[in-house]
Amino acid sequence: MKAIRRFTVRTVLPDDLAPLGRLAANLRWSWHAATRDLFAAVDPRLWAAVDRDPIRLLGEVSGERLAVLAADPDFRARLDAATADLDSYLSEASWYQGLGEDPARPEPPRAVAYFSAEYGLTATLPQYSGGLGILAGDHLKSASDLGVPLIGVGLLYRHGYFSQTLSPEGWQLEDYPEIDPHSLPMSRLRDSDGAQVRIALELPDDRTLTAHVWVVRVGRVPLLLLDAYHEDNDLELRGVTDRLYGGGNEHRLRQELLLGVGGIRAVRAYCAVSGHPAPEVCHMNEGHAGFLGLERVREYVAAGELGFDQAVEATRAGTVFTTHTPVPAGIDRFPRDLVRRHFSGDTAIDGVPVERIMALGEEDYPDGDPGVFNMAVMGMRLAQRVNGVSRLHGQVSREMFRGLWPGFDAAEVPITSVTNGVHARTWIADEAQELAGRLVADSEEFLVPDGWRKVTGASERELWEMRRTLRGRLVDDARDRLRASWRHRGASDAELGWIDDVLDPDILTIGFARRVPSYKRLTLMLHDRARLRAMLRHPRHPIQIVIAGKAHPADEGGKRLIQEIIRFTDEADVRHRIVFLPDYDMGLAASLVQGCDVWLNNPLRPLEACGTSGMKSALNGGLNLSVRDGWWDEWFDGSNGWSIPTANGVADPDRRDALESAALYDLFEEQVMPLFYDHDDSGLPKRWLEMVKHTLVSLGPKVLATRMVRDYVTELYQGAADSSRRLTADGPEGVRELAAWKQRVVRSWPGVHIEHVEVVGVEEPPQVGGELKVRATLVLGDLDPADVCVEIALGRVDTAQRLSDPVFARLDPDDAVRDGPLVRYTGSMPLDRAGTCGYTLRVLPSHPMLSNPAEMGLVVVPEPPESMAEGIVLR
């Protein structure tokens, strides 16, 4: 009987215990230890057997047990307390409400819609593949904690992401268990008449894709998941939301249309039934969500007052785009014909010409591919505000996308960064939370180093014992998982006695867990096996290593790397010190980041956009040992962990691996291992603990997702809401004016040029403290001085004869001296830097609704050879 279809019959709880159902229906339990403890108390053995899943627990607990609990005043008191706590969590004012009360601030956005193709919220909801999804989950949870009125939007994948097992030969096997939404903490969105909300999307060839909307409660944040498994769809269309990142181009395109276009429609339906304010800002978490911008354009056009260009301006003002990959190959692209087919013929949208849509995703820059429709490029054209996810990644992204802003140096490309963070209550072990909670009364204090200094006021013995507890728990968990894996690989219990002695709760424990794209270099540690073996088998200072990771199902190379690791971990002389644990998911991740002493990360710099697992480790008192990439490039301070020196500029990858792995072994042998085992008379590794404390104080406040979400609110959402309001304050007029102005500027721009620039006043020789006076004559063609901004740039001249770190000052038009098409500008700039300096001039479009001078990608500089007036030397 294999082809059984499962369904879930929910238990009817006795009235007195009905609040248990409410607690299970809100994912806040997943980051609230007291609620989880209450579920455990319902039936401790069953709780473990159902993998700590409250819905399954309540589905399987016996009627007799429920009757006992209903009659137990103690249990009912705890239940009342937990429910009251949830109610106050959901309703009390938090940080965001404080923003709203501050008269010095503009009104915060009334609501924000956040779109992501994946969400990692709990291990019981396998709707994520890796970092992107975990980040989205942590974003929602932190938004909930902070009281940000956010609505999440995603897809419900019936088979989620795969679960990983191993063949006897150590080859990755994938399994896609089907989920039953009725057994998950979610409910169908219904309209005010109680009917299920149905989202419909027109597809080519007269087909309609229909979707259900499920609502997951993430604290106070609703997450809307669209589900194509709908009775109105034929079998093929039901499969649209079968798997995360599965299928070919058309399949993925349909998924992304459902996410973006269907997602906006689901938000509208949700706001209509719930009374939730309509979002003023939409956030695209990576290009998969890009079609939301098109749907908003369509909405504006359909409302009758705006044309296409105007609708694009209105959409841009209220949209934020976040890019997550520093590798061009990581960007989502579709064949252009496929996209065209979905927006033309019988699926053409009135007033939204297909050629205009196609232009939004066009790679019309040098090295661009004319055959693809690029989702990130479209996202950036439909979002006025764009960011990367760490400072270094912001820099890499400005380089990578500079073709969209031709004429500007990479440094001026309008892509900022907000460094990722992690949701503390999800990732910090209960014991550590309990310890921190005893020492720090107000959770606000965790946003500043002083709060963490209080945590490090715990006695060293207590800290060390806590670390041992967490390490010990990881060891137990690893043995269980390893045993299960070996059984699956075909071993019998009689052969597995050795697993009882795998790993040791007192040995320095290194963790390495991540997806397995080649840039993460899973096997770098194997580069010199003899040296690794010696470290694992060191007589006094041994290390043990716990490894996990999934390769993308289509990535044979990644699977080979996994197999290579497994073959090593299977060797009899090291298998007690190095293990590979299959099926890396949030549960395993928590166990690892809590139990490991050192978190290892050795990507090829700068290919890791941010990385977050090391942040989770740091919050649990682990130390990072990592290549200076992503977040670690920004926050490594020389003593809060270790940085692996990189062999930048070494072109031969093998040679680079050899150099970097040797540096890695050196660090372990010379620093990490001796430090960990250097115990004083009281048996404590004082210097190690110093480093742990310094890690908590220096990284604790920074790596929090609450810090990240605050940054998004104040730096991006607020700006987007302000732009959007200013643009539409007087009805459609503002949008029309901006769109018309942009068209005029783009049309007239070829007529703008700089006739002449000269220095009209500087002391000889020029000195610091002096002033540089400049006069320029410009031709503005059809434009007015009010349409442009003329700037002088002053900076040092680098070896490539370019200005480095220029500073800018505006020149003003001299209205008295207008000579036909010529406009005279003058201005000055203080000379405040010594050395060989140069200056140049540039003309940019200027309008109060531009968020950045480079936004339109238009700039005029002097024609060579005047492009850089002769260098002046300052003393």
Ligand X SMILES: *Cc1c(COP(=O)(O)O)cnc(C)c1O
- Provide the binding-site residues for ligand X, judged by CB under 6 A: 130-131, 134, 514, 584-586, 589, 611-613, 616
Q: Smaller CB distance to ligand X: residue 29 or 584?
A: 584
**Which of 130/152 has CB closer to ligand X?**
130
- Phi, psi at 866, each rounded to 5°: -80, 0
8 Å CB contact between 639 and 691: yes
Pick the closer one to ligand X by CB: 608 or 855: 608
- CB 372, min distance to ligand X, A: 27
134 versus 623: smaller Cβ distance to ligand X: 134
Which residue type does 763 have? E
Q: Cβ of residue 481: shortest distance to ligand X, in angstroms?
A: 14
Residue 600 CB, nearest distance to ligand X (Å)? 11
Nearer to ligand X, 82 or 132 (CB): 132
Nearer to ligand X, 584 or 642 (CB): 584
φ/ψ of residue 67, rounded to 5:
-65, -40
Least Å distance between CB 596 and ligand X?
13
**Shortest approach of ligand X to residue 390 CB, angstroms?**
11
598-601 and 508-513 beta bridge pairing: parallel
Minimum CB separation of residue 584 from ligand X in Å reads 6
If the CB atoms of residues 316 and 616 are measured against ligand X, the closer one turns out to be 616
Name the residue nearer to ligand X (CB basis): 131 or 766. 131
CB atoms within 10 A of CB 181: 18
| CA proximity to 667, closest of 602, 752, 614, 583 | 602
Let me know: does 151 contact 115? Beta carbons within 8 Å.
Answer: no
Q: State which residue, 130 or 732, has the beta carbon closest to ligand X.
A: 130
- Bridge partners (DSSP) of residue 544 are 509
Instruction: Give the CA dihedral 509, 563, 660, 531, nearest 10 degrees.
Output: 60
Q: Which one, of 171, 202, 184, lies nearest residue 298 by Cα?
A: 202
Q: What minimum distance in Å lies between the beta carbon of 397 and ligand X?
A: 17
CB of 616 to ligand X, least distance (A): 6
Instruction: Using the minimum distance from each CB to ligand X, give the nearer residue, 23 or 422.
Output: 422
Largest CA distance in the chain: 98
Rounded distance between C-alpha atoms, residue 627 and residue 604, angstroms: 8
The least distance separating ligand X from the CB of residue 646, rounded to whole angstroms, comes to 17
- Minimum CB distance to ligand X, residue 215 (Å): 24
Q: Say if residues 754 and 860 touch (Cβ distance below 8 Å).
A: yes
Q: Which is nearer to ligand X, 239 or 517 (CB)?
A: 517
- For residues 150 and 113, give the distance between their C-alpha atoms in angstroms, rounded to a whole number: 6
Extract the tokens encoding 168: 């006897």
Q: 3-state SS of the chain: helix, strand, coil percent to 5? A: 45, 20, 35
Smallest gap, in angstroms, from Cβ of residue 644 to ligand X? 15
**Least Å distance between CB 613 and ligand X?**
3
Give Cα 25 to chain centroid, integer Å. 26
Give the whole-angstrom CA distance, residue 611 versus residue 603. 10
Which is nearer to ligand X, 31 or 270 (by Cβ)? Answer: 31
Q: Which residue has the tokens 């604790």?
A: 700
How many CB atoms are closer than 10 A to CB 786? Answer: 9
Q: Quick check: 140 and 153 in contact, CB under 8 A?
A: no
According to DSSP H, which parts of 570-652 are helical? 586-595, 613-619, 630-635
Determine the straight-line distance between the first and last CA of the chain, rounded to whole angstroms.
Answer: 88
CB of 626 to ligand X, least distance (A): 9
Please report how close the Cβ of residue 179 comes to ligand X at its closest, in angstroms: 17
With 0-12 / 13-18 / 19 or more C-beta atoms within 10 angstroms meaning exposed / middle / buried, residue 286 is buried
Instruction: Considering the complex, state which of residue 589 and residue 696 has its C-beta at the smaller distance from ligand X.
Output: 589
Question: Residues, the chain, total?
Answer: 875
CB 235 within 8 A of CB 164: no
Q: Yes or no: say if 665 and 679 are a contact pair by the CB < 8 Å rule.
A: no
- DSSP count for the chain of H helices, then E strands: 32, 27
In the complex, the smallest distance separating the C-beta of residue 221 from ligand X, rounded to whole angstroms, is 19
Instruction: Report the interhelical angle of 718-728 vs 308-317 (nearest 10°).
Output: 140
Which residue, 408 or 584, is less far from ligand X as judged by CB? 584
Minimum separation from the CB atom of position 423 to ligand X (A): 10
Quote the distance between the C-alpha of residue 840 and its chain's center: 38
Residue type, 365: Y
Cα 153 to Cα 291: distance, rounded to the nearest angstrom: 13
Cβ distance to ligand X smaller for residue 210 or 620: 620
Structure tokens given for 193: 């008449």
Q: Which candidate, 181, 86, 175, places its Cα nearest to that of 124?
A: 181
Taking CA atoms, 447 is separated from 637, 697, 818, in Å, by 18, 10, 56
Please give the distance of CA 258 from its chain centroid, rounded to a whole number: 21
Least distance to ligand X, CB of residue 592, Å: 9
Q: Which is nearer to ligand X, 686 or 702 (CB)?
A: 702
Nearer to ligand X, 397 or 718 (CB): 397
How remote is the C-alpha of 622 from its chain's centroid? 22
Task: Give the residue with the Cβ less far from ligand X, 58 or 143.
Answer: 143
Quote the least distance from Cβ 607 to ligand X, whole Å. 12
**Side chain identity, residue 42:** V
Task: Write phi, then psi, for 616 (nearest 5 degrees).
Answer: -60, -40
CA 449 to chain CA centroid, Å, is 24
Taking Cα atoms as reference points, which of 462, 472, 470 lies closest to residue 436?
Answer: 462
